Each structure stands twice: as C-alpha cells, then as structure tokens.
Structure 1
Amino acid sequence: MSHDHEHQLPTLQAPVKALDPHGVQVVGLGTALFVIGTLICWWQLPALEGIGRGWWLSSAAVGTGIGLLALVVLLILRRRRLR
C-alpha cells in the first residue's frame, strides 16, 4: 500500500533558557568593542586621514553613542521587568 504523504515526527523544542534574555550582555559587548574602535581610530587619525579613511572615527563614535543609548534603554527595561 502506498501512502500519499509520509508520516513526520513532531518537532520538539528543547527546554533551554536564553543566555541573555534582556540583551544587555550582547549590547554591552558590542558597545565596548565600538569604544575600543573609537579609541584606536582617534589614536591613528593622521594615518587614517592619509589613506582617506578619516570618517572611520566618526562612524565608530556614532556606534559608541548608539550602543550607550541602547544599553541605557535595555537596563531600564530589565529593571522594570524584574520588579
């Protein structure tokens, strides 16, 4: 006897908790990397401008600012959820 469709086993989700449900660690790490990048670009600014890459400093600074803002928002949200 042939079957029109094969029998498929149900997909089960393992009961594993998220490593960082609030996202604070990930955003904190990314912000720290942007801070390091900003400092390196600032230190090497004459060399960067010499090769036409002086804009990297402003890009890294903007990334740092966005990361800090996101970190503040996430910390506030985490505090509210834990209450």
Structure 2
Amino acid sequence: MLTQAPVKPLDEDGVQVMAIGTLAWVVAAVVLLLRGAGSDSSDQTWWLWTCLAGAGVGVVALAYCLRRRSRRRAAADEGLGAPAAATKQ
C-alpha cells in the first residue's frame, strides 16, 4: 500500500513564491525599459505592458497571501483550530 511521506510543505502560505514571481516581473520590466522597449518607435511595447501587468497581478496576489497568512496565524493563536492542511499528517 502506498503512503505519503511525512514531509512539511516548503511554503505553506505562498508568500515567498508570490514575492519572487512579482520581483521577476519587475526585473523583466526594468530590463525592457533599459533596452528601449518602452519607446514609441519600438514594436515591442506589448512586452513591457505584459511585464507591468504581471507585476500588478503579483502585487495583488502578494497582498492576498500576506493577509491570509496573518489571518491563519491569528486564528491559530486564538485556538480556533488549525487549518485543514496543518492537521493532516
């Protein structure tokens, strides 16, 4: 019979993943700006807008994950019960 190994998740709340992803979009936008992709004469302005949209979505997702993490910690401190993922072993 197969059983799952008792391994803790690396990033339970997703904050680290969202921060790295958002930072990657921002770095890509800066690189494109330095290469001149934001100028009107360039035909690659959609690349810049894609990076800016990715960074914007990343900021919203990061804020969501930070808020969710703080709420989960507050609930655990009040003894309202652990989240479902934390109770499984």
For residue 31 of structure 2, what is the aligned residue in structure 1?
Answer: 40
Distance 1:11 1:17 in 2: 18
TM-score, normalised via structure 1 length: 0.80
Where does the alignment leave 5 or more consecutive residues of structure 1 unmatched? 1-9
- Residue 72 of structure 1, aligned match among 63, 69, 72: 63
Q: Which residue of 2 aligns with 1:5?
A: none
Q: What is the SS of the residue equivalent to 2:66?
A: helix
Segments of 5+ residues of structure 2 without an aligned counterpart are: 75-89
Deviations 1:49-78 (A, max 9, x none): 666222100000000000001000100000
Q: Cα–Cα, structure 1 residues 36 and 46, in superposed 2: closer, same or farther, change >3 Å?
A: closer
With normalisation by structure 2, the TM-score equals 0.75
Q: Which amino acid aligns with 1:74?
A: C
Instruction: Give the counterpart letter for 2:18 in structure 1.
Output: V
3-state SS in 1 of match to 2:5? coil
Mark the structure with the bigger radius of gyration. 1
Structure 1 runs of 4+ aligned residues shifted over 2 Å read 45-52
Q: 1:46 to 1:74 in 2, by over 3 A?
A: closer
**Identity across aligned pairs (percent)?**
35
Tell me the residue number matched to 2:73.
82
* Greater RCO structure (CA 8 Å; 6+ sep): 1
Residues 80, 12 of structure 1: alpha-carbon distance in 2 compared, 3 angstrom cutoff? same
